[in-house]
Structure 1
Amino acid sequence: MQAIVMTETGAPEVLVPRAVDAPRPGDGQVLVRAEAIPVLYPETKVRAGEFPVPVALPAVFGFQAAGTVTELGAGVDPALLGTRVVAATSGVGAYAELVVAEADSVTVIPDGLRTDLAAATQMPGSVALALVATAALAPGETVLVEAAATGVGSALTQLCAARGVRVIATAGGAEKARLAREHGAAEVVDHTAPAWADQLRDLLAGGTVDVVFDSIGGDSVTPLLDLITPRTGRVLSYGWLAGVPTQLTAVDLILRGLTLTGCAGPAWLGEVARRRADALDAAARGQLTVGIDSVLPLTGAADAHRKLEERSALGTVLLRP
């Protein structure tokens, strides 16, 4: 079968198309014929060596794939055979025509939801649902969604707006700002502009932000500290677009009575996994829309990674075996 093998850590060119042996499901596993493979931003960090690589290299790369279950291992519910699912792996095996996954890691795609949309929605939708639940939003609050034109950012913007909170979004450039507004942002500031915190201060007109959803990391929140509601304000840090986690200190938080929640690690990933079916259900009901930027052939995996790293994608990039 055709697959994308990661030969070593490094630039996108380490993702190489190769013919490999077809996998077979073991006990408690399923075999999925992939139809749509989402390219996820964290995958670019794994490929670059910034996040740990889960197996020895070379290995077939990839964390998720959507398609149809074609074979079952021992002990798997027979009802899964022939079902459309989104399968999650431990970080290997998804960039391929055939994907083996643990049966308890697959999410059945609801009737009426296209496979492509399910593939595009599951990761950003499940992360956004977990973030909104963790933030414990109250009607009338004001939230700041960083990088609101990304997959998670756009899902967050939609979910927050639906809960009756005022959403101020950040986005880089006019086109991404337009997308953020379409998804429910009341106002948008350009986080690529110098001193963009001053834009936020002007929009708040003396008010404050109750929740910051921080996907950029680094020092992105530091200029905002005095614009966050004292005593009850909270920062949820879940992304490292700047390359490092948010650089807030305990003193930054204590002096203002703010809370910082780190949305990472095994417990957080477990919470996200529990939201997978909810994300697909929300998409099937039209409550959550994740755009698809482009669909590339499986052999275009390296090009897909470049698009994400250049931040030129306006939606999810899918690979088609």
Structure 2
Amino acid sequence: MQAIVMTGIGGPEVLVPREVPAPRPGAGEVLIRVEAIPVLYPETQLRSGAFPMASPPPVVFGFQAAGEVIAVGEGVGAEYLGRRVVADTAGVGAYAESVCVRAESTTPIPADVSAADAAAVAMSGSVALALLEAAALTGTETVLIEAGATGVGSYLVQLAREFGAARVIATTGGPDKARHAMELGADEVVDHRPEHWSGELKTGPDGAVDIVFDSLGGASAYALLDVMTPGSGRMLSYGWLSGEPARVSAADLIPRGLTLTGCAGPAFHARVGRARDAILDRIPTLAPPVEAILPLARAAEAHERVESRVPLGKIILRPDHTQQ
């Protein structure tokens, strides 16, 4: 079968199309005939060596895929056969015409949702739902959503009011993304490219922001503390787009009466998994999630596009067999 092999740590060029043996499902596994593969920003970080891979290269790359279950392993019920699913791998194997995954890592795709849309929304949308549940909004808060035009941030902007946000402020990088964030439902947009962008937020004597969804990390997280509501403001930190985690300590938070919740680790990831069904059901009500669909063999180009941070939607890879 055709697959994309990560031949080493490095740039997009290490993702090479190759013929590899087709997988067979083991005990507790299902075999998926892949129709759509989302290119995830964290995958670019793993490929480049910013974070360690679970399995060293050379290895078939990829963390998520959508398609049809065509075989099951020992201990898996026949009801899985023919089911359209989106699935997480154990860290490798998704960039291929077929992939084996644990049966419990699959989520059924609703009948009115395409495989491409399910693949595009599943990861980022599930994280957004988990963050909104953790935020416990009450209906009165102003929320600040960093990187609100793309990825997790775009779903936070679309869903925040459903979960109780009274006012939504988004940050973006550039006019195209600013327009997109407004189209998704933001009340106000701030460009987060200048070094001191937090100074552009409209604040009063008691601050302006009740909840921050922090995907940037770094020094900007500390700068936001002074525009958060004293005594009740809370920051949910879930990303490091700046290249480092939020530079915030207990000594920074306690005098202001603020809290920071780290949204990571097994407990949070379990919450993300539980949100998968709910986000797939919402897809027909969300903005179109797919930016472009490329042949699987163009995986390196897809990574280049994602790393440019230009796309507003998800880049999807499609194996050649889906066109036959």
Question: TM-score, normalised to structure 1's length?
Answer: 0.96
How far does residue 114 in structure 1 lie from its aligned partner after superposition?
1.3
**Corresponding letter in the other structure for 2:196:** A
Cα separation, 2, equivalents of 1:243 and 1:178:
26
Cα separation, 1, equivalents of 2:250 and 2:7:
41
1:138 aligns with 2:125: no
1:230 aligns with 2:212: no
Partner of 2:322: none
Percentage of pairs with the same residue = 58
Partner of 1:313: 311
1:14 aligns with 2:14: yes
Q: 1:251 to 1:101 in 2, by over 3 A?
A: same
1:276 aligns with 2:299: no
Runs of 4 or more, structure 1, over 6 Å off, are: none
Give the match's secondary structure for 1:304: helix
Partner of 1:184: 185
Give the match's secondary structure for 1:308: helix
**Corresponding letter in the other structure for 1:235:** M
How far does residue 310 in structure 1 lie from its aligned partner after superposition?
1.3
Partner of 2:39: 39
- RMSD over aligned Cα atoms: 1.4
Listed as ranges, the matches of 1:109-124 within 5 Å are 109-124=109-124
How many residues matched?
A: 318
Cα separation, 2, equivalents of 1:73 and 1:234:
46
Cα separation, 1, equivalents of 2:95 and 2:305:
17
Question: TM-score, normalised to structure 2's length?
Answer: 0.95
Partner of 2:294: 296
Cα separation, 1, equivalents of 2:264 and 2:303:
22
Unaligned runs of 5+ in 2: 320-324
Cα separation, 2, equivalents of 1:292 and 1:205:
42
How far does residue 301 in structure 1 lie from its aligned partner after superposition?
1.0
1:150 aligns with 2:158: no
**Corresponding letter in the other structure for 1:196:** W
Q: 1:169 to 1:274 in 2, by over 3 A?
A: same
Unaligned runs of 5+ in 1: none
Q: Is the 8 A contact 1:120 1:290 kept in 2?
A: no
- Superposed CA offset, 1:255-309 (max 9, x none): 111111111122221221111111101214x2x3352111111111111111111
Q: Is the 8 A contact 2:302 2:315 kept in 1?
A: yes
Partner of 2:252: 252
Cα separation, 2, equivalents of 1:128 and 1:187:
19
- Superposed CA offset, 1:34-83 (max 9, x none): 11100111111111112221013210010000011111111112111111
How far does residue 196 in structure 1 lie from its aligned partner after superposition?
1.6
Partner of 1:51: 51
Q: Is the 8 A contact 1:121 1:280 kept in 2?
A: yes
